[in-house]
Amino acid sequence: MAIAKVTSQGRVTIPLEIRQQLALETGSKVEFELAGTGAAVMKPVRSSLKSRQGVFRESRRKPISLKELEEAIAAEAGSGMPEKPLSDAST
């Protein structure tokens, strides 16, 4: 059993072994539920994949064509365009 102390601001530090077993990291959310026995139950809040939709999308960038991508790669590689670009390949 782990024991934690409530601060004057109502904060509690969750003991390390509990954080590790529940995979809690900085910024993780937890929910509290009162049990009928006078105890409180704390559970980690797991977000669904649906709630993360679009999190990696960069809305300020304009999509580029395959040709533009190949040109950028070639410019960074310091060489010319490949003999047969992917955008022209039929196989």
- Give the tens place of pLDDT for each residue, 37-68: 889 999 998 876 666 666 666 666 778 899 98
pLDDT at 91: 53
pLDDT at 64: 85
**SS3 sequence of the chain:** CCCCCECCCCCECCCHHHHHHCCCCCCCCEEEEECCCCCEEEEECCCCCHHHCCCCCCCCCCCCCHHHHHHHHHHHHCCCCCCCCHHHCCC
Would you say residue 84 has pLDDT above 80? no
How do the domains of the chain map onto residue ranges?
16-46
Confidence of residue 86 (pLDDT cuts 50, 70, 90): low
pLDDT at 79: 58
pLDDT at 16: 93
Q: What's the CA gap between 28 and 56, in Å, rounded?
A: 19
List all residues 6 or more positions away from 54 whose beta carbon is below 8 Å from its beta carbon.
none
Confidence of residue 15 (pLDDT cuts 50, 70, 90): very high
